[in-house]
């Protein structure tokens, strides 16, 4: 199909093509009753050709891969980001308790959220090693900025977050003197003004 | 629009009983003319615009004759703690009138019945799986009530949801019809609504040809209902095209 690359705006419910010719990507869906691909967002339609297997120039007819291009709709205004399991978020620690810390999610990936979502970092999700010896107050303090990954949707109250990787943990913290501390190891941060060393679960940059 | 609203009566006073009695038989004649000069199957002129409220994720403003409606959409945002856990998203709707919306100055009421009707009309069209555990709030405010308020609210709300980037199966268009004697009057104004024998409202997704809501009140015969539904569905598909052009205009402007 010779689809000219022009700026085509679509609205929800517009027909994008047949399901036998197109695969529905983001912003599109397949209606199973008539095998039609519709748009579900307002935005620009784009066609992505299928990934071609370059060594397999002549595919065997019995094992032919899916040759359909993927159609996507890029929203002109994406709504505020919604946390999904597996994504990396930036959160601010709100409260530290004996077995968990509550944090407010501020960014999902590189997109900020319009209104905060609550997250919980549980005792067993702080680091991958020596889980039994984790001390909550040696890992986080209220006001710290942490990078975490979303484990699951959690319960009705909060998403479950995890910092059990080297790249996850506290990325920014303030000392009691009010200065932003410098990470010096994976468990310690130092205040540049007073030289005071505080314990944190530090993220590897 | 300004000239037309100037000619149309913006303030309505209840007529004396003698005038009321005299006026009543006029609607039964087959050749009576509507007070704003429209034909029976003709809708009022529609003015639609998105992006009316800055602080909302999506918003839309709609004018149909004298009916003026503004809708704001917030979210997806966190559900309240009292809510149970849900794998799919939630939709909250609230329809309210301003104190100056009706000819008789009122308290500015939250309309519970309209809110539940709006919720039922919209939830069939929204892909709720795309935002699990979160809530989308829709607030509709009727600035002026000029007849057929609820269909205008529903159409404007679906426009606001599309503006907010909520994934939907299709836009939602809504039109109502009034039965006056032998005649079917589409998109009635307040005066026609007060004299109607029955009313019918259809909410449908025009591209997929599916009905999400059907409300019938008053006295109807079966062929009359069928005729009214055909009239409404035809008007809904035309309204859907107007809504699409409005969204494309806004989206193209933001792309530049």
The answer on pLDDT for B27 being more than 90 is no
Beta bridge partners, B174, equal: B203
Lowest mean pLDDT among A9-23, A39-53, A166-180: A39-53
Do the beta carbons of residue B35 and residue B191 sit within 8 Å? yes
Asked whether the beta carbons of residue B78 and residue A27 sit closer than 8 angstroms, the reply is no
pLDDT at B71: 94
- Best of A9, A11, A37, A78 to disrupt the B interface (most B CBs within 10 Å) is A11
Beta bridge partners, B126, equal: B168
List chain A domain ranges. Answer: 2-74, 88-171
Q: Is A49 exposed, middle or buried (0-12, 13-18, 19+ CB in 10 A)?
A: exposed
CA dist., res. B200 & res. B219, Å (int): 10
Tokens found for residue A194? 């007073």
Confidence category of residue A112, pLDDT binned at 50, 70, 90: confident
Residue B170 at interface with chain A, using a CB cutoff of 8 Å: yes
Q: Of the ranges A39-53, A91-105, B23-37, B69-83, which is most confident?
A: A91-105
N residues, chain A: 205
Instruction: Tell me how far the alpha carbon of residue A22 is from its chain's centroid.
Output: 27
Strand, helix or coil for residue A148: strand
Nearest-CA distance A22 → chain B (Å): 17
Residue A43 at interface with chain B, using a CB cutoff of 8 Å: yes
The answer on pLDDT for B122 being more than 90 is yes
User: Which residues in B lie closer than 8 A to residue A27 (C-beta atoms)?
Assistant: 167
The tens digit of pLDDT for each residue in A139-189 reads: 998 999 998 999 888 877 688 999 998 889 998 998 988 899 989 897 889
CA dist., res. A97 & res. A95, Å (int): 7
Nearest to B171 among A11, A77, A116 (CB): A11
More reliable by pLDDT, B17 or B158: B158
Level-2 CATH architecture, domain A2-74: Beta Barrel (2.40)
List chain B domain ranges. Answer: 46-254
Q: A88-171 domain in CATH 2.40.50.140? A: yes
Angle at B21 between CA B16 and CA B25, to 5 degrees: 140
Residue of chain B whose alpha carbon sits nearest to that of A29 = B169
CATH of B46-254, one of 3.10.310.30, 2.40.110.10, 3.30.390.50, 3.30.230.70: 3.30.230.70
Q: How many CB pairs under 8 A join A and B?
A: 106
Continuous H helices in chain B:
2-7, 17-23, 112-123, 149-164, 190-194, 222-255
The answer on pLDDT for B16 being more than 60 is no
Is it true that the peptide bond before B76 is cis, omega within 30 degrees of 0?
A: yes
The tens digit of pLDDT for each residue in B191-249 reads: 788 888 899 999 999 988 889 888 888 988 889 888 898 889 989 998 999 998 998 87
Q: Is A55 exposed, middle or buried (0-12, 13-18, 19+ CB in 10 A)?
A: exposed
Tokens found for residue B11? 């303030």
CA dist., res. A140 & res. B205, Å (int): 51
CA dist., res. B68 & res. B46, Å (int): 10
Is it true that the peptide bond before A69 is cis, omega within 30 degrees of 0?
A: no
Residues 92-111 of A with CB under 8 A from B: none
Instruction: Tell me how far the alpha carbon of residue A135 is from its chain's centroid.
Output: 27
Indicate if the alpha-carbon torsion angle B55, B59, B65, B66 is positive or negative.
Answer: negative
Q: Is A123 exposed, middle or buried (0-12, 13-18, 19+ CB in 10 A)?
A: middle
Nearest to A76 among B57, B166, B255 (CB): B255
Tokens found for residue A126? 């702080």
Q: What residues have CB less than 8 Å from A179, skipping those under 6 apart?
A: A191, A192, A193, A194
What average pLDDT does the segment B76-104 reach? Answer: 81
Nearest-CA distance A74 → chain B (Å): 10
Residue A116 at interface with chain B, using a CB cutoff of 8 Å: yes
Closest CA relative to residue A27, chosen from B164, B169, B242: B169
User: Which residues in A lie closer than 8 A to residue B50 (C-beta atoms)?
Assistant: none
The average confidence (pLDDT) of chain B is 81
Beta bridge partners, A92, equal: A104, A145
Q: What residues have CB less than 8 Å from B104, skipping those under 6 apart?
A: none
Do the beta carbons of residue B197 and residue B181 sit within 8 Å? yes
Do the beta carbons of residue B158 and residue B152 sit within 8 Å? no
* Parallel/antiparallel/unpaired status of strands A28-31 and A36-39: antiparallel
Asked whether the beta carbons of residue B165 and residue A82 sit closer than 8 angstroms, the reply is no
pLDDT at A103: 94
């Amino acid at each position: 199909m010779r689809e000219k690359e022009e700026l085509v705006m679509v609205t929800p419910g517009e027909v994008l093509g047949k399901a036998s010719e197109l695969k529905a990507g983001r912003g599109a869906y397949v209606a199973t009753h008539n095998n039609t691909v519709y748009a579900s967002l307002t935005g620009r339609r784009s066609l992505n050709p299928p990934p071609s297997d370059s060594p397999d120039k002549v595919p065997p007819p019995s094992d032919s891969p899916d040759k359909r291009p993927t159609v996507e709709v890029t929203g002109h205004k994406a709504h505020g980001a919604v946390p999904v399991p597996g994504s990396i978020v930036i959160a601010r620690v709100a409260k530290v308790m004996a077995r968990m810390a509550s944090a407010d999610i501020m960014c999902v990936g590189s997109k900020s959220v319009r209104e905060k979502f609550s997250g919980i970092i549980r005792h067993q999700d702080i680091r991958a090693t020596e889980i039994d010896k984790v001390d909550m107050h040696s890992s986080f303090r209220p006001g710290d900025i942490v990078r975490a990954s979303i484990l699951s949707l959690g319960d009705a109250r909060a998403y479950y977050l995890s910092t059990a990787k080297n790249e996850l943990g506290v990325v920014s913290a303030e000392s009691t003197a009010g200065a932003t501390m410098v990470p010096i190891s994976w468990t310690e941060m130092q205040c540049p003004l007073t030289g005071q060393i505080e314990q944190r679960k530090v993220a590897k940059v | 629009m300004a000239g037309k609203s100037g000619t149309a009566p913006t303030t309505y006073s209840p007529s004396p009983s003698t005038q009321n009695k005299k006026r009543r038989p006029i609607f039964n004649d087959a050749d009576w003319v509507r007070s704003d000069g429209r034909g029976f199957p003709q809708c009022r002129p529609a003015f639609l615009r998105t992006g009316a409220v800055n602080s909302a994720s999506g918003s839309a403003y709609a004018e149909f004759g004298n009916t003026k409606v503004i809708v704001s959409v917030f979210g997806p945002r966190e559900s309240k703690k009292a809510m149970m856990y849900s794998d799919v998203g939630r939709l909250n709707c609230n329809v309210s009138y301003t104190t100056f919306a009706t000819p008789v100055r009122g308290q500015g009421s939250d309309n519970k019945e309209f809110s539940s009707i709006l919720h039922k009309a919209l939830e069939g069209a929204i892909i709720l799986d795309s935002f699990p555990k979160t809530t989308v709030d829709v607030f509709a405010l009727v600035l002026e009530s000029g007849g057929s308020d609820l269909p205008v609210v529903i159409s404007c709300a679906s426009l606001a949801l599309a503006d907010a980037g909520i994934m939907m199966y299709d836009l939602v268009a809504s039109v109502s019809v009034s039965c006056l004697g032998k005649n079917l009057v589409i998109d009635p104004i307040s005066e026609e609504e007060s004299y109607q024998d029955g009313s019918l409202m259809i909410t449908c997704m025009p591209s997929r040809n599916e009905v999400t809501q059907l409300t019938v009140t008053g006295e109807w015969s079966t062929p009359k209902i069928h005729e009214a539904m055909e009239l409404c569905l035809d008007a809904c598909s035309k309204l859907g095209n107007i809504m699409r052009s409005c969204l494309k205009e806004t989206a193209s402007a933001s792309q530049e």
